[in-house]
Amino acid sequence: MVKVIMGLKGSGKTKQLLDQVQKALNEERGSVVCIEKEPNLRYSIPSQARHVCTSQYGGRGLDFFKGFISGMLAGNYDISHIFVDGLYKIIDGNDTVGVDGFLDWLSALSEKENFDIMLTLSADISSATETIRKYL
């Protein structure tokens, strides 16, 4: 299942995401992974969750991030939840057409590999495409 939290900066997206991380850690048996571009949440994420910063790996864009997520899943079959804070920061842009395809790709992958993923998007919710709205 794919879930998107969308809103302007300061609207509480990250707080919602962190609450869901804690809930997943309390209720699920699989591995929980938190992904962000820079290590801003390093001390906010419980130590039971795997914290990953994409900036350490030198890639950018949607193709990089697809490979990044696929590689994580290939290396750990126990991942039950992935949380992504700041998708637009990770991909260095706000290509909504590309994000639409990416979200649909993630949805198919999450069903096939049996994991849930939650992402935050920093943008006005009124700018959400029909595809993004499907995942809100």
- The domains of the chain are located at 2-134
Closest CA to 35 of 16, 13, 60, 53: 53
Half-sphere exposure of 96 (CA within 13 A, CB side): 13
Instruction: Determine phi and psi for 76, rounding to 5 degrees.
Output: -145, 105
In this predicted structure, what is the pLDDT of residue 26? 96
Whether the Cβ atoms of residue 30 and residue 78 lie closer than 8 Å to each other: yes
Q: Which residues of the chain have pLDDT under 70?
A: none
In this predicted structure, what is the pLDDT of residue 48? 96
In this predicted structure, what is the pLDDT of residue 97? 82
In this predicted structure, what is the pLDDT of residue 70? 97
Q: Does 2-134 carry CATH code 3.40.50.300?
A: yes
d(CA 72, CA 64): 12
In this predicted structure, what is the pLDDT of residue 119? 98
- With H, G, I as helix, E, B as strand and everything else as coil, classify residue 106: helix
